[in-house]
Structure 1
Amino acid sequence: MPLSEYEQRVLEQMERQLTSDDPRLANTLTQRGRRPVSRYLIAGGGAAVGLLLLVLGAAGSLPWLGVVGFVVMFAGVAFAFADPHRGARRHGPQGVVQADGAVRRAPQARKSGFMSRLEERWDRRRGQQGR
């Protein structure tokens, strides 16, 4: 069932509010990145082989084989949940979503530490409360 005109206007207003309040979250929600199924199959196979090695190491009283099995199993699970484009993607906001849905690239921000980012957020929140 299609949305009524009122519901469409309210939804558009909510989208604009989200993009103005938290552009980083809006960018994250608009990205259409899906991991291929083959990635999960490889990771599942690695986890299964690692579990098999772990059980064989425990049954055969071979602790080194159990450790190798655990490492292989851990690597398989980590591979499944790791970001496949980690090196190619910048950290932080990549742009701002405009009201028409277009993405404007953000200028290259200077690198700042964790504490300075927290201080900037704190200052912004304090400024918004003083309205």
Structure 2
Amino acid sequence: MPLSEHEQRMLDQIEQALYAEDPKFANTVRQTNPAVHYKRSIVQASIGFVVGISLLMGGAIFQQVIVGVIGFVVMLACLLWGLSAWRRVAGGTAEAAAEPQGKSKGKSSEPKQRRRQQRPGMMHRFEERWRRRQEGDDK
């Protein structure tokens, strides 16, 4: 939802006040790109995944079950962490929040909208049935 003119003016005034009060902090915040944070998380999760594989293999080679289990848990945690960061970099939450509405770089939202138009949801069907009952057109 786009901002109204009044809201946009208020936001500009707040931004100008921030620049006047603490220009160093304002520049730091403005230059921060969330995608860089998520890419760093992907790299860290990949390294953790390799460490988990090493622990798992070490546990299997030296017949230490607890080390293998710890390795598996580390692998699983790093996999989930990396996948969540990957989803955000690939056009999920972070990019959608940074982009103006209607100008996202990621996947298009048109197929979802088409699916919703073709196949209404459960609540829509319930409302439609209720409306028909009230009108006396119940089948």
Tell me the TM-score normalised to structure 1 length.
0.41
Question: Which has more radius of gyration?
Answer: 2
Relative to total residues, which structure has the larger strand share, 1 or 2? 1
Tell me the TM-score normalised to structure 2 length.
0.39
Choose between structure 1 and 2 for higher RCO, CA contacts under 8 A separated by at least 6 residues: 1
